[in-house]
């Protein structure tokens, strides 16, 4: 029997001092070579050609969807029901449960759904790990299964021994069931439980997430991943992204592209000798080359967890997520938590949840018109939100990532913002005449950085207001028995917006995060 092994966490170490990326004078290759970058014009490589199309990590900072201090208050005995209708990974669940009072004695019901099987399968493995193992054992397992391309062989042994065996037992019992039939299994551990509902064929697919394709060695898996993250055809794209980073972070970014392991920079990777089977279900890397765990977390918060080595970006992320996961695992074992998971289209959820109503419904960005859109989202989930007589603080939370690009006024707002915010931009960005020189303009990385950063200064209020008018927000909300809240109480409407009076360091951190400020959260409540 493989014994659970507790991980001893090493101290963060600084990146090497001699890397060219550390120099303030570092420039992208195309600038040094005096050529046009490959991403300008029609001949550049298509992003979709490098990596798969799965989104296994979040692209917005994790949220505590309860935020009890601003809503119901810190009642230690109150029961809560949460619905994550298009969850993506488990970061919002982790933040929300760790946001409950430390002495919480109520019962928390959580429903998690995503239409993508790989997301649901990975989430199920992570949650089962939290339920099954002691917190000190579960924490490093969850962290590395979630984020690291390679894991210690002992971690996979533990999962196969204690988690796969439970999944295998389900598969044995449902062997004679129709292939597409929904089959449910509930695992109960004292006062906590997980109910997983999958089609029979997906249960058998879940089994495969604990094993690697035949013939996939460590070296072959590393080669597969690097062919995406370090593709020569993508060098100009990578250089452009690195140029947006503070010099020390460039080293961390390249280190992660090279090895794909979340650890402090100087920590040994020797034990991480086994490809993570939840990523390597085939002989291809499942995500795009620029997929980044950091996008699922507030970078400013990440940096606070390793103040002695802020240069080590992923070391800071390691400590931040480790600490949060440890608290999550402790609470999920101590609290009365009931979790149920589905893998269905979000539109099917009301039929599966007829006897439920929720204190929080988080729908991610299926409110964007490229997915369900606001009207269909509200009509689908409005009736599942608790009425004011049950909870006057019940909230449906939606995210709009693309709204301001959809209404035809974005280009106009860009020009207006550049004219209106030139003086403010000059406080954060170096602007020289050389940047606008015609013989260098197209390949000047400083001009490209200026143009990219300028999006952080746009006025997105007007185009979003126009978007709401186009979509008839007031009417569709009322039709669903809802109304849009005048003031958000879970998360700021524009959480990634550059604050007035922000310092240069705050600007640099926000710009390096890749968020531009157009990300808009909207909160709805029941009308009655």
Report pLDDT for 4: 37
Residues in the chain: 528
Q: What is the Cα–Cα distance from 178 to 199, expressed in whole angstroms?
A: 9
Contact between 467 and 407 under an 8 Å Cβ cutoff? The reply is: yes
DSSP 312: -
Report pLDDT for 9: 39
Contact between 264 and 7 under an 8 Å Cβ cutoff? The reply is: no
pLDDT along the chain (528 residues), means of 10: 39 60 92 88 56 93 98 96 98 98 97 98 99 98 99 98 97 96 96 97 98 97 97 94 93 96 94 98 96 95 75 93 98 97 98 95 96 97 98 98 76 64 84 66 81 87 92 97 98 95 91 90 97
Report pLDDT for 189: 95
Q: What is the Cα–Cα distance from 412 to 337, expressed in whole angstroms?
A: 49
Report pLDDT for 11: 41
Q: What is the Cα–Cα distance from 39 to 94, expressed in whole angstroms?
A: 37
Which residue reads 């080293």 in tokens? 251
Helix (H) or strand (E) holding 110, with range, is strand 107-113
What's the farthest any 2 CA atoms get from each other in the chain? Answer: 74
Report pLDDT for 48: 43
DSSP 22: G
């Amino acid at each position: 029997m493989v014994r659970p092994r507790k991980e001893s966490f090493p101290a963060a170490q600084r990146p090497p001092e001699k890397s060219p990326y550390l120099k303030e004078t570092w420039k992208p290759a195309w600038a040094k070579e005096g050529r046009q970058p490959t991403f300008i014009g029609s001949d550049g490589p298509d992003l979709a050609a490098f990596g798969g199309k799965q989104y296994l990590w979040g692209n917005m900072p994790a949220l505590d969807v309860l935020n009890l201090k601003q809503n119901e208050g810190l009642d230690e005995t109150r029961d809560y029901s949460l619905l994550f209708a298009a969850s993506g990974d488990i970061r919002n669940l982790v933040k929300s449960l760790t946001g409950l009072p430390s002495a919480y004695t109520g019962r928390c019901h959580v429903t998690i759904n995503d239409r993508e099987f790989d997301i649901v399968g990975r989430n199920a493995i992570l949650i089962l790990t939290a339920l099954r193992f002691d917190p000190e054992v579960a924490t490093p397992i969850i962290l590395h299964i979630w984020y690291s391309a390679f894991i210690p062989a002992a971690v996979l042994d533990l999962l196969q021994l204690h988690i796969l065996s439970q999944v295998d037992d389900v598969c044995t019992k449902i062997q004679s069931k129709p292939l597409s039939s929904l089959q449910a299994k509930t695992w109960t551990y004292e006062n906590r439980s997980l109910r997983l509902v999958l089609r029979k064929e997906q249960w058998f697919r879940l089994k495969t997430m604990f094993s690697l394709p035949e013939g996939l060695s460590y070296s072959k898996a590393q080669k597969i991943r690097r062919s995406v993250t370090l593709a020569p055809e993508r060098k100009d794209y990578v250089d452009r992204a690195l140029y947006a980073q503070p010099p020390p972070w460039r080293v961390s970014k390249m280190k992660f592209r090279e090895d794909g392991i979340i650890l402090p920079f100087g920590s040994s990777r020797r034990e991480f000798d086994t490809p993570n089977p939840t990523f390597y279900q085939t002989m291809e890397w499942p995500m795009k080359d620029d997929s980044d765990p950091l996008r699922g977390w507030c970078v400013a918060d990440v940096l606070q967890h390793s103040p002695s080595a802020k240069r080590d970006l992923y070391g800071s992320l390691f400590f931040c997520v480790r600490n949060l996961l440890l608290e999550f695992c402790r609470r999920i074992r101590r609290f009365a938590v009931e979790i149920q998971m589905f893998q269905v289209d979000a539109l099917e959820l009301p039929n599966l949840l007829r006897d439920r109503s929720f204190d929080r419904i988080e729908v991610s960005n299926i409110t964007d018109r490229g997915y369900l859109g606001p009207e269909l989202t509200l009509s689908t989930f409005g009736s599942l939100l608790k009425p004011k007589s049950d909870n006057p603080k019940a909230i449906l939370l939606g995210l709009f990532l693309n709204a301001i690009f959809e209404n035809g006024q974005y280009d106009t707002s860009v020009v207006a913002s550049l004219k209106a915010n030139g003086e403010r931009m000059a406080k954060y960005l170096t602007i020289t005449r050389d940047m606008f020189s015609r013989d260098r303009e197209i390949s000047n990385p400083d001009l490209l950085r200026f143009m990219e950063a300028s999006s952080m200064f746009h006025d997105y209020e007007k185009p979003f207001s126009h978007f709401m008018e186009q979509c008839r927000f007031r009417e569709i909300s009322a039709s669903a028995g809802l109304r849009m809240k005048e003031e958000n109480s879970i998360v700021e409407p524009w959480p990634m917006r550059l604050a007035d009076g922000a310092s240069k360091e705050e600007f640099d951190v926000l710009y390096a995060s890749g968020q531009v400020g157009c990300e808009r959260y909207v909160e709805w409540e029941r009308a009655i």
